[in-house]
Amino acid sequence: MTEDRRVDGSEGVPGQEAARAALDALPGIARRREEVLDRHRLGRILFFEAIVPTAALVSWFLAQMFRDPSVNARSLPTLALLVVIVMWSQLARGLRERYPAAQALRGAARVVHQVLTGASAAAFALALVITFLRGGAPVVLVALGGMLGLGAGLWAWGAMRRGAGDAAAVPVAEHAEMNTAVRIATGCFGVGLALIAAVSPLFAAGEGFQVLSVVAAVLAMAIAALGRFLNAVPAIGASWRPPQWTAFAISAVIACVAPIPAFANPLLGGMIGVVAAGAILVLFVVAALWPVGRDA
């Protein structure tokens, strides 16, 4: 004789209570997540995420505007500077991973940021096409792209600062370990950036240096392909301390500025390329060997 088992709703109450408790906890979890979000530092990161590629693109167009007629603007080596943008985007990804924020900007602030960023990218892309077709950079489009890129960075920074309000300061997120592998990767990153900085000036210097320009470009690509180097860049971005970021900042400025005088004075291109690459190598050797200090 089978026993009649009636389900009266009392069974499973513990499970229902656990589910209800979990749902009730969600707002608190979200609130605590917002409390530990370091909006001030994330705002600065978002600002530089917009400024670095904007500055690199503007400097490339400035090199085209002031270039000597003997320098061919339609050659691919002149685009070497744009690789800096790729390297920076990977570094920034690793830097963001130090902070608990998949999407730092939300709602209307995020939409405005995306619109400004997309419009800036579209202006620069159109300017790039026109430059390659006509041989001259369109000043108005370049200025528009630069202003929109700067606006995107300032908007993101301001939105994050407004979101932070008068909240208490959040402790600095810990860095990933600065181990031997990261130091070696930092050195390789410096070598690659130095080669990229040398490509355009050497190319501008004329036939005698263009072979070196191609060699530098090939070596830079070989370093990028070595052990999926680009995939390792976010890891070093999460590990770097102020000395390494300082070396990168100075090196990025050198890489962006060097092509401008080299394109304007091709006879000096060889010297400019060698000096730029040498300076970046020295900076990154020091950065790779710098003792680990406190988090900041």
Record the tokens describing residue 156, joined without a space: 């993101």
Per-residue pLDDT, 134: 81
Q: Taking all residues of the chain, what is their mean pLDDT, rounded to a whole number?
A: 77
Dihedral of the alpha carbons of 125, 46, 224, 195, in degrees to the nearest 10: 80
DSSP 165: T
Q: What is the largest CA-CA distance in the chain?
A: 104
Choose between 94 and 144: higher pLDDT: 144
Render pLDDT for 39-83 as a digit per residue (tens, 0 to 9).
777 888 889 889 999 998 998 888 888 888 877 766 655 667 777
Render pLDDT for 214-260 as a digit per residue (tens, 0 to 9).
777 777 766 666 645 556 677 787 788 889 999 999 999 998 899 89
Confidence of residue 168 (pLDDT cuts 50, 70, 90): low
| Mean pLDDT of all residues in 175-197 | 83
Record the tokens describing residue 120, joined without a space: 């800036």
Instruction: Please state the pTM of the whole predicted model.
Output: 0.76
Choose between 182 and 30: higher pLDDT: 182
d(C-alpha 199, C-alpha 185), whole Å: 21
